[in-house]
Structure 1
Amino acid sequence: MAKDVESFIGSIDQGTTSSRFLIFNQNGEVVASHQLEFTQIYPQPGWHEHDPIEIVTSVERCIDGAVSSFEHQGYNVGSIKAVGITNQRETTVVWNKETGEPLYNAIVWTDTRTQSLIRRLKQRLGHSELQEHCGLPLSTYPSVGKLLWLLDCVPRVKEAYENGVLAFGTIDTWLVYKLNGGPKNNVFVTDPSNASRTMFMDIRTRQYSETLIDFFRLNRTKLHLPTIIHSSDPKGYGSLASTVLRGVPITGCLGDQSAALVGQKGFTPGKAKNTYGTGCFLLYNVGENPVISNHGLLTTVAYDFGGEVMYALEGSIAVAGSSVKFLKDNFEFVKSSEEINRLAETVEDNGGCVFVTAFSGLFAPYWIDDARGTIFGITTYTKRGHIARATLEATCFQTKAILDAMAKDSGRALTELAVDGGMCNSDLTMQTQADLISIPVNRPAMRETTAFGAAIAAGLAVGFWQDVQELESVNVDGQTVFEPKVPKAEAEKRFEQWEKAVQMCRGWAS
């Protein structure tokens, strides 16, 4: 007999290397999930692409897989009231608005092919004022450079633009569009947390800026941009047109890092979280008004829940978990990513090694496009364990640099850091992090905070949770707090060595 008493919320978590679908109950517990990896395409050094159709297919298969598990537990599919979406940000898709056909592979947020294009844009009059308008500096990271490259280098994209049928979107927009049935229903929307990553949106009005679009010399009559709606919306995102959840409404959407802040319940100014995923992203809630950084950080929309809009300062690290994957796949140090932790524990320290994991340049707070991955301090004493430890430390050092910048921009230092993401499963990494930043690191028991954030956005839209206050008691049991064990002077000394290494890796990719 089916269990019908409870209601549930579904969450699509479309990440850089895999797609997932999770089903949450009102206590924030995962009752079913399904995950599929999809193809990573690297056509040239520094290029990173995904197949847009494969992304949609993987999401649909994950929905069906998780619901199958859900039903096997005796639950009724009708008790899933709504679905939220969280997604890799900046990754850019272009398609024909009339046919729904993608015109090129999705260009992934990590892609650096736009380096020379960005340098040219920095020669234009007015480029230094862009961040004041949109919260982002010019770099290879935001979506705009990827779109401009596609217009310059892919004839099909240029032709669609000239014919006025070019649709542009980040992964959230593409997913919503396709999951609603494509051109037939034409649900073409985005939310402010994703739109704020394109360089097209005014960070204060949360609508497209003619000033920004003019700077990039784009014609709005030829380029179709998705309508920006609230992150939590009972109608605007349509409903699923296929899968076993056909007809279930999509009612929430957040870019993955904003979703993680929401999932960590960072609803008040001063709250911060760090997600250790493929990359590493630290978001700090600054309140209802944006703070434009003077210290290398980004300004982004944390969330827009209709009556409540919150902004965040963000520090983005391009390489985190992917550095562990690199040691596994490229150097073949270990057979699984989990073994890196054990390898790092075979030595007491990094043996004098510092690994600047700038595989695609350095992001916040440095923004050094021409840096590349560099290991300093190798001697005949160096073992694989030292390299493994230096790899884990690289993410922790960059997090420390971002926290220092946030303290300068916001005027107050953080007192505790909430963490999530795959790398935070490593006790060694989290203890190292606490030691280097000299404040406690708090790891929740349920670490699916990104997917949970999307579920919260969707759930609030349909009354699954009445307000954010109701969520305060959710996911608080079983937390682990890592207290600093290293004197602050020692932490600063180690950080100075890291900063020296950062300066020495400049200019490698000229």
Structure 2
Amino acid sequence: MAEYILAIDQGTTGSTVALMDAGGRLCASVNYEFPQIYPHPGWVEHRPAEIWASVLKGIRAVLRKGVCKPREIVAIGITNQRETAVLWDRDSSEAVNNAIVWQCRRTTDFCETLRGAGHEKTIRRRSGLVLDPYFSASKYRWLLRNTPGIRGRLKDGRLAAGTIDSYLIWQLTAGAAHVTDISNASRTSLMNLEEGGWDHRLLDIFEVPADILPRIVPSSGILGHTRGVPGLPDGIPIAGVAGDQQAALFGQACFGRGEAKCTFGTGSFIVMNTGAEVVRSSAGLLSTVAWQLGERSKPVYALEGGAFVCGAAVQWLRDGLGIIRKATEIEALAASVEDSGGVEFVPALTGLGAPHWAPEARGTITGLTRGSHRGHLARATLDAMALQNADILRAMEEELGKRMKPLRVDGGAAANNLLMQIQADVLGRKLIRPSMIETTVAGACYLAGLGVGLWQSQKEIREIWSVEREFAVQMSTAARRKRLSAWNDAVKRTLL
């Protein structure tokens, strides 16, 4: 009997469900978007029921492609938007409020209160994360304080909390498993980074009760089994789980210390494998868990820097301004001009992430003239997507005291050749694009395959990974410095 892995890649704007065979070939994939909710400026929400519905729709659709029979699925792998927080009722399995999305800035004032009370160093030392509304802890607190009927559920022990991986595992197992993998747990600001468990001091600071949180488990290994999922037989093991950026790092076969990737999704994220060492950053980067392969293995750590808005800037051009009809039109429109014509777009639409960490920052468009048109704004958008990453890489190199190796790239926007060339030029680094750019899906599949023994080692997975194209640097050093200087000036105006 043929063997397949079903991957669920639950992202910020949609859910992808895919099938991979034992040879590591992506055989089928579908994606379904779901609504984004913006109740107030800077607030972002999702309806968890719509997330789950999009996953179920994806499962049905990918199986209708006829690649395999449901009984040939030997494992399920999950990767997910990470810091998004959900509360649900254990009895009904229904969410008690909308999920607060990782992009949401509603807890900025509370985080400032914690900073003023002197908690910032404690949070950074114990969790490896900066004090910012980005992470889950302050979102849980907001939900606990602002959801009607929450006290009764807490008193009765009916309340469960988790990130999206936990919510999906709960739904897939009909409530039999309330777990989260260690990579997702490391993004909550509630896990002790070195000990790998919930930290009671952090729980106290954020006022989150430990008994509503999931059990922390490794990223690979059997975490639960399907029960009552339409279209799937009961008993399929859920055997691989990782946050989207960690899954992409694994899917890029960045198994060695110092290997790094950049994912171009809703946001963009540079993540570097630091091995068994927790690298503490003083330059606005995050220390996090990359993965843990089984109970007997030690965690692998990573250093990360992320920009909140990357592909989301293109969506804003499409949905907010209406200057393109489809996201794929951005490349041709941006290529219609030689450069941005002096236009600078800083897409701080949900604040600025690493290395600035300025939740109060707002997006700006500067340098407009009578000669500016939508082509210049499209080009400025691609420039901004790449220049944000240049800021992160520069901070990462300063932290490590050495020059980074060629950077592996992935994610939907990595298919944009113009963007990749701009990125190579402003980084001053060669980019390597793999044959499979949807490496979050690949990472989830690889972790699940290892978890059930479909593959025996990371060496086997490295042999599956292959290069599709490399992008060499074409910009001179002088031109790069001039471009970075103009960008830095624009960012400073954003931070005023």
In the other structure, the counterpart of 1:299 is 287
In the other structure, the counterpart of 1:133 is 126
Question: Cα deviations across residues 234-279 of structure 1 (Å, max 9, x unaligned)?
Answer: 2x23334312222211111001110000000111111111110111
Is the contact between residue 283 and residue 312 of structure 1 (CA under 8 Å) also seen in structure 2? yes
Give TM-score, length-normalised by structure 1. 0.94
For residues 46 and 277 of structure 2, what CA distance do their matches in structure 1 show?
35
- Name which of 241, 259, 264 aligns with 2:252: 264
Q: Which moved more, 1:25-34 or 1:236-245?
A: 236-245
Q: Which moved more, 1:36-45 or 1:310-319?
A: 36-45
- Name which of 480, 484, 487 aligns with 2:469: 480
Is the contact between residue 174 and residue 226 of structure 2 (CA under 8 Å) also seen in structure 1? no
Alignment of 1:208-247 (within 5 A): 208-220=198-210, 223-234=211-222, 236-247=223-234
Question: Is 1:345 the equivalent of 2:335?
Answer: yes
Question: Cα deviations across residues 192-231 of structure 1 (Å, max 9, x unaligned)?
Answer: 11000111100011111112112223343xx411000110
3-state SS of paired residue (1:101): coil
Question: Cα deviations across residues 24-60 of structure 1 (Å, max 9, x unaligned)?
Answer: 0133211122221112122222111111112112112
Runs of 5+ unmatched residues, structure 2:
none
For residues 442 and 219 of structure 1, what CA distance do their matches in structure 2 show?
44
For residues 461 and 401 of structure 1, what CA distance do their matches in structure 2 show?
37
Question: Cα deviations across residues 134-170 of structure 1 (Å, max 9, x unaligned)?
Answer: 0111111000111111122223234433544321100
Question: Cα deviations across residues 360-418 of structure 1 (Å, max 9, x unaligned)?
Answer: 11001110111101012111221211111111111111101111111122232212010
Give the C-alpha shift of residue 281 in structure 1.
1.1
* Structure 2 letter corresponding to 1:353: V
* Structure 2 letter corresponding to 1:32: A
Question: Is 1:428 the equivalent of 2:418?
Answer: yes
Question: Is 1:101 the equivalent of 2:94?
Answer: yes
Is the contact between residue 406 and residue 413 of structure 1 (CA under 8 Å) also seen in structure 2? no
In the other structure, the counterpart of 2:48 is 52
* Structure 2 letter corresponding to 1:281: F
For residues 119 and 70 of structure 2, what CA distance do their matches in structure 1 show?
53
In the other structure, the counterpart of 1:34 is 30
3-state SS of paired residue (1:168): strand
Q: Which moved more, 1:143-152 or 1:199-208?
A: 143-152
Q: What is the Cα-based RMSD across aligned positions, in Å? A: 1.4
For residues 156 and 394 of structure 1, what CA distance do their matches in structure 2 show?
44
In the other structure, the counterpart of 1:84 is 77
Question: Cα deviations across residues 259-314 of structure 1 (Å, max 9, x unaligned)?
Answer: 00000011111111111011111111111121111101111111111225211111
Question: Cα deviations across residues 320-376 of structure 1 (Å, max 9, x unaligned)?
Answer: 001011111111111111111111111101111111100011001110111101012
Structure 2 CA distance for partners of 1:126 and 1:76, relative to 1, 3 Å: closer
* Structure 2 letter corresponding to 1:31: C
Is the contact between residue 141 and residue 207 of structure 2 (CA under 8 Å) also seen in structure 1? no
For residues 312 and 193 of structure 1, what CA distance do their matches in structure 2 show?
10
Is the contact between residue 331 and residue 416 of structure 2 (CA under 8 Å) also seen in structure 1? yes
Is the contact between residue 4 and residue 73 of structure 2 (CA under 8 Å) also seen in structure 1? yes
Is the contact between residue 117 and residue 149 of structure 1 (CA under 8 Å) also seen in structure 2? no
Q: Percent identity?
A: 41
- Structure 1 stretches of 4+ moved >6 Å: none
For residues 119 and 378 of structure 1, what CA distance do their matches in structure 2 show?
35
For residues 98 and 348 of structure 1, what CA distance do their matches in structure 2 show?
59
Is the contact between residue 349 and residue 389 of structure 1 (CA under 8 Å) also seen in structure 2? yes
Is the contact between residue 286 and residue 410 of structure 1 (CA under 8 Å) also seen in structure 2? no
Alignment of 1:322-401 (within 5 A): 322-401=312-391
Question: Cα deviations across residues 73-115 of structure 1 (Å, max 9, x unaligned)?
Answer: 4x43322211110011111100123432311011111111112
For residues 396 and 210 of structure 1, what CA distance do their matches in structure 2 show?
39
In the other structure, the counterpart of 1:438 is 428
For residues 118 and 159 of structure 1, what CA distance do their matches in structure 2 show?
27
Is the contact between residue 240 and residue 250 of structure 1 (CA under 8 Å) also seen in structure 2? no
Alignment of 1:120-159 (within 5 A): 120-159=113-152
- Name which of 190, 207, 210 aligns with 2:197: 207
3-state SS of paired residue (1:455): helix
Is the contact between residue 169 and residue 179 of structure 2 (CA under 8 Å) also seen in structure 1? yes
* Structure 2 letter corresponding to 1:46: G
Structure 2 CA distance for partners of 1:336 and 1:217, relative to 1, 3 Å: closer
Alignment of 1:159-198 (within 5 A): 159-182=152-175, 185=176, 187-198=177-188
Runs of 5+ unmatched residues, structure 1:
none
For residues 207 and 69 of structure 2, what CA distance do their matches in structure 1 show?
52
For residues 166 and 467 of structure 1, what CA distance do their matches in structure 2 show?
39
Q: Which moved more, 1:406-415 or 1:368-377?
A: 406-415
In the other structure, the counterpart of 1:406 is 396
3-state SS of paired residue (1:316): strand
Structure 2 CA distance for partners of 1:237 and 1:375, relative to 1, 3 Å: same
Is the contact between residue 237 and residue 252 of structure 1 (CA under 8 Å) also seen in structure 2? no
Question: Is 1:283 the equivalent of 2:271?
Answer: yes
Give the C-alpha shift of residue 68 in structure 1.
1.8
For residues 267 and 239 of structure 1, what CA distance do their matches in structure 2 show?
30
Q: Which moved more, 1:110-119 or 1:95-104?
A: 95-104
